[in-house]
Structure formats: structure tokens, C-alpha cells
Structure 1
Amino acid sequence: MVIRVDSHRLAYMAVPKAACSSVKAALAALDPLQSENVAEQLGQKQVHAIYPTRRFRRHRWDHLENHFKFTVVRDPLKRLLAVYTNRVEGLGILSHSRKIRRGRMHLPTEPDPDYFFQNLSAYIATSSDIKHHTLPVALFTGTDWRTYTRVFRTDEMAELGAALSDHTGRDVTIPHFNSSGRRLRLDDLSVQTQRVLKVLLEDEYAHLARYFDNPFETGQVPAVA
């Protein structure tokens, strides 16, 4: 599903764990279908109810020729580490897993980072939330970056706000949601876990090569807040 604000000719493809809550809130404030009072008071659950994140469908995207078409992408390692710090550690999302609670999957609901990433496939099978937030970016963006007017990185929210302001003639500020409580670095993880992540993220870094360097190749290891 394309997230559209047709009154301003805006079209956005959301990527989970790539500032999508923040961008959706900014779009709601522009959307005449949302009252100003509602837009100002929106929380994370409300913006996702208004603008669900759906997978990319080319036939729904290509015909929006006159729209400002954009997405926001995040460094793949930071995005994956944030699944742990925000969803697992911060929100305790695994405690809601029916499969674990009912004993069909024997996994800890409060795993340490090494255990979580080394058993990520099992947690994906256990939790639809974990699955949703770890799906490949290409499922949400498509594979052809040329279909976008602009692609922004998550460290370019000021630039996104300025671009939306220029396009709409409105003063647009992107709010900040979902900041995790602690910083997790790749070198906080065991060597075995790092090897697992290197393999898991190889295709993601290939897809996003024009926007991010692969730290497993360059030695530049980012931290995530």
C-alpha cells in the first residue's frame, strides 16, 4: 500500500525501523483527511493504524507520475540492531508471543543479543512483529531506485522536512519516535554473532549500496541508539 497525501501530491513507501513512525506523523499533520487536533496528538499506534506499512506493488506506484515519491532507508546493521534494542529489549515484544507462552516454541522471551541474533530465524517464526521488522528492505521499496523522486537516509530527516516544506508550501518538521534506551554496537556481540550478521546482511547492503557502505567490508562499525 502506498501512503498517499493526494492533496499535496505526496507518495511514501514506509520501511519498518527506518523512521516510519516519524514520517507518518509528519504526513498526518499535512493530510486534510486528518483533523489538525488529531494530527497533533497522534502517537505511534495511531499513525500506523491510519497509514499501515505494506509491501511495494509496482502497479500502484508507477501511475503516480505527478507525486513527490519518496522513501526513507536505514543502515541495515543499525536497522537490525534496533529490532533488538527497541522491540525485544525496550518493548518486551517477545513476551506477547503465543507460541512461546503456550510452549510450542522453547525460546527465552528476554534473550541477550547474541542468543537473539544467532536464533533470529526461530524468533521470526515465533513472532509476526519480529518478522515484520526484519523483512528485506526491497519488499517495501522495490528494487529500482529510479522510481523515486528522492530517497532519504534516516540521518537526513532535516533534509526530508525541508523537501516536504518546499513541495507543499507548509512548514514541515519530522518528529522523533522510537529512540532506544541504550546503544548497541556490533563489537558488543560475540565473533560468532558477527559472522551470522555478516551473512544475514549481505543482500541488504548490496541492495542499499548506493546509500550505505558495508561495515563488514570497510571496518566501519556503527552503533545504534
Structure 2
Amino acid sequence: MVIAVKAHRIAYMALPKAGCSTVKAALAQVDPDATLPENARPDVMTWHRLYPTMRFRPHRWQAYDGWWRFCVVRDPLRRLLSVYTNRVVGLRELHNCRNIRRGRVDLPMDPDPDFFFQNLRGYIDAASAIKHHALPAWLFLGPDLGRYDRIYRTSELARFGEELAERTGAPVTIARENPSGMRLSLDDLAPATRTALRDHLDAEYGYLAEFYENPFGPRQHRACTGPTRRVS
């Protein structure tokens, strides 16, 4: 599903764990069709109910030719680490996983980061919430980043807010909507975990090579075909 602001002909494809809560909250400020709950303070889930995140579909994207089309990307390692710090530790989503709770898979609900990332494939298969946030970026953004008029890094969200305000003529406030309370870095992980992450993220860094340097060294292969140029 393309997140569309019809009044301003803006189309956005959301990437989970790449500032999408913040971007959706900003779009709601300029979207006259956005309906917010009455007598309730909006929270993170408000924005996701208003603008659901769906995977990329070429036929849906073609309907927005001529619109201003943008997306936001994030360093692949930081994005994946935040799956653990936010979804596993902060929100404890594995406690809601039926496959784990009912013993269908032998995985702990409160894994340490080394166990989690060394068994990431098992957690992705067992828990839909983990799968949604850990899937590769190209499944949400499409194989060709050249389709976008503007691609922001998550570090550029303040600039996104400024440019959205200029484009729409409406005031826009950018606030971080879904921060992780825990900090985790590559140095905190065991060598075997770093190797597992290197292999898992190799293609992802190939896809986003124009935006982020691979901290594990030169990539070995690509996730998909198509240019990854940045359109300013």
C-alpha cells in the first residue's frame, strides 16, 4: 500500500524501523484526509493504523506517476539492531508470539542479543512482528530506488520536515515517535554474532551502497537488480 496524501500529490513508501512512525506523524499534519481519534492523545499506533506499512507492489506504485514520491532509508545494521532493542526488549513482542508461547518452536522470549541475532532466521519464521521489521529494505521500497524523487536518510528527517512544509505550505513538527530505550552497538556483540550479521546484511548493504558504507567490508553480492541512485 502506497501512503498517499492526495491533497498535495505526495506518495511515500514506508520502511519499518527507518523513521516511519515519525514520517507518518508528519504527513498527518498536512493531510486533510487524515482522521485522528477524538478525545485521545495520538500515539505510535495511531500513525500505523492511519497509514499502514505494506510491501512494495509495482502496479500500485505506477498509479502515482507524476506525484512527488519519496522514502526514508536507514543504515542496515542500525535498523536491525533496533529490531532487538525496540521490538524484543522495549516492547517485549516475543511474549505475544503464539509459536513460542505454545512451544511450537524452542526459542526463549527474552534472548540476549547474541542469541537473538545468531538465531535470527528462527525468530523471523516464528514471530510475524519480528519478520515485518527485519525484512530487507527492497521488499518495501522496490528494486529500483531511481523511482523516487527524494530519498532521505534517517539522519535527515529534520530536513524532510522543512521540505514537506515548503511543499505543502503547512507547518510541520518533526518529533521522534518510537525511540529505543536501549543502546546496542557492534562492539557489544560476540565475534560469532558479528559474523552472522555480516552475512545477513551483505546484500542489504549492496542495495543501499550509495547511502551507507558496509562496516563489515566490501560486499560480495547484491540483493536485487536495478540502480540505486539518489535523486535530490
Q: Same fold (TM over 0.5)?
A: yes
1:170 maps to 170
CA distance in 1, matches of 2:26, 2:42: 10
2:9 maps to 9
Q: Residues 35 and 103 (structure 1 numbering): CA distance in 2 closer, same or farther, change over 3 Å?
A: closer
Higher helix content, 1 or 2: 1
Q: Residues 110 and 36 (structure 1 numbering): CA distance in 2 closer, same or farther, change over 3 Å?
A: closer
Cα deviation, residue 134, structure 1: 0.5
Q: Are 2:108 and 1:108 aligned?
A: yes
Cα deviation, residue 63, structure 1: 3.4
The alignment's TM-score, normalised by the length of structure 2, stands at 0.90
Q: Residues 33 and 16 (structure 1 numbering): CA distance in 2 closer, same or farther, change over 3 Å?
A: same
1:179 maps to 179
SS at match of 2:161: helix
Q: Are 2:88 and 1:88 aligned?
A: yes
Question: After superposition, what is the alpha-carbon deviation per residue over 1:26-83, rounded to whole angstroms, capped at 9, x for unaligned?
Answer: 1112111125786x94211121111110011122213323311000010000000000
CA distance in 2, matches of 1:196, 1:130: 17
2:59 maps to 59
Q: Are 2:19 and 1:19 aligned?
A: yes
* Residue identity in the other structure for 1:119: N
1:200 maps to 200
Q: Residues 136 and 36 (structure 1 numbering): CA distance in 2 closer, same or farther, change over 3 Å?
A: closer
* Residue identity in the other structure for 1:187: D
2:228 maps to none
Identity fraction in percent: 53
1:72 maps to 72
* Contact preservation (8 Å) 1:165, 1:172: yes
* Residue identity in the other structure for 1:169: G
1:222 maps to none
Once the two structures are overlaid, the 10-residue window that deviates more, 156-165 or 71-80, is: 156-165
1:223 maps to none
CA distance in 2, matches of 1:14, 1:116: 25
1:159 maps to 159
* Residue identity in the other structure for 1:134: A
CA RMSD after TM alignment = 1.5
CA distance in 2, matches of 1:44, 1:179: 10
Cα deviation, residue 84, structure 1: 0.3
Q: Are 2:118 and 1:118 aligned?
A: yes
* Contact preservation (8 Å) 2:36, 2:42: no
SS at match of 2:25: helix
Once the two structures are overlaid, the 10-residue window that deviates more, 11-20 or 64-73, is: 64-73
Question: What does residue range 28-39 of structure 1 map to in structure 2 within 5 Å?
Answer: 28-35=28-35
* Contact preservation (8 Å) 2:73, 2:154: yes
The alignment's TM-score, normalised by the length of structure 1, stands at 0.92
Q: Residues 172 and 37 (structure 1 numbering): CA distance in 2 closer, same or farther, change over 3 Å?
A: farther
CA distance in 2, matches of 1:145, 1:100: 37
SS at match of 1:151: strand
SS at match of 1:196: helix
SS at match of 2:217: helix
- Unpaired runs of at least 5, structure 2: 219-232
SS at match of 1:152: strand
- Unpaired runs of at least 5, structure 1: 219-225
* Contact preservation (8 Å) 1:14, 1:53: yes
